[in-house]
Amino acid sequence: MLKEKGYLGGFIALIAVALLVVVVLVTSAQGQSSGQIGVVNMETVFTQYMAAPLFEARDEMQAEYDNKVENLADEEASQLFMEYQVQLETLENEYSNNVEAAIKTVAEKHGFQIIVDSAAVLHGGIDVTEDVLEVLK
């Protein structure tokens, strides 16, 4: 019987510690959740900031490729295509990095810990799409 009381006391102490941990975590989470969440419409950002220059670069590279490929062997044409592909990906990464930096700037300005794509949000959040586009200008 004494052993059972020892186990029961240890079990009660364990439950008390677990409850204390839960209370601390909930209190901590509540303190953090009082901040607002920003949302940005990435489709709009793509359309208004990235699409035109990327499509223009793609079209220019395609025209250059078409002019040069006529006189090249298959292997050389393949190599040239890969070079243009790398250039286009580099340009796309540059624009994507600019968007990420703009989002970070807007998040710091508004005190947001998080900004998510509005396509992932069913309800709520503060739309900062125009702020992001303004930073990108």
Token pair 């004494």: residue? 2
In DSSP terms, 117 is beta-bridged to 40
* Model pLDDT for residues 78-129, shown as the tens digit of each residue: 898 999 999 999 999 999 999 999 999 999 999 999 999 999 988 889 999 9
The domain defined by 36-136 carries CATH number 3.90.1150.10: no
SS3 of residue 127 by DSSP: strand
CA 45 vs CA 2, 5, 95, 98: distances in Å:
70, 65, 11, 11
pLDDT at 18: 52
Is residue 52 very low, low, confident or very high in pLDDT (cuts 50, 70, 90)?
A: very high
Region 23-43: what's the mean pLDDT? Answer: 62
* Model pLDDT for residues 8-18, shown as the tens digit of each residue: 566 665 565 55
Please spell the DSSP secondary structure of 62-101, one letter per residue: HHHHHHHHTTS-HHHHHHHHHHHHHHHHHHHHHHHHHHHH
